[in-house]
Amino acid sequence: MQIRKATLNDISSINTLCHEQLAGCHSKISHYSRERNEYSLNDYNLSKLRIIDLLFTESLMKEKLNNKNTYFFVAETENKQVVGYLMVSVHYPKKKPAIQQRDPSFYAYIERFYVSYRYHEQGIELALLNSFDYWKKHKSAH
């Protein structure tokens, strides 16, 4: 298992994971193709589930990948199959608090986080979260 930075080439794999997450792996309207080993994203599925706005478009993916305050990583198997992802946005405080205390250098919000149900209980979720922890320590050191 490898944790690496997401790329534009991952959009199809990530959207398949989004569909799995939102539709449920055993849903009646979730269509799985064994030959291609992927879920089909047809108009019927998307309109019924109202998830069309939750999938990544190429422009949204580019925006997230080019944002230096967004952490977007994927978990990949030895076969180069993307089985999970984590997207975190980092925000910096705008004002000082009224009560003097140690200000955090930034706030992190998990925007999206999912690991395929087939890969649960293998430590992938924790590996993705730990990779963010490592990234934020490295980021604050610069």
Q: What is the pTM of this model?
A: 0.71
Round to whole Å and give the CA distance between 86 and 118: 17
Expressed as residue numbers, the domain containing 61 is 2-140
pLDDT of 91: 77
Write the CATH number for 80.
3.40.630.30
pLDDT at 4: 92
pLDDT at residue 72 in the model:
92
- Structural domains in the chain (count): 1
User: According to the model, what pLDDT value does residue 126 have?
Assistant: 92
Average pLDDT, 10 consecutive residues per value, the chain (142 residues): 92 89 57 53 48 74 89 93 92 67 71 90 92 74 36
What is the pLDDT, as a whole number, of residue 30?
A: 46
Instruction: Kindly report the three-state secondary structure assignment for every residue of the chain.
Output: CEEEECCHHHHHHHHHHHHHHHHCCCCCCCCEECCCCEECCCHHHHHHHCCHHHCCCHHHHHHHHHCCCEEEEEEECCCCCEEEEEEEEEECCCCCCCCCCCCCCCEEEEEEEEECHHHCCCCHHHHHHHHHHHHHHHHHCC
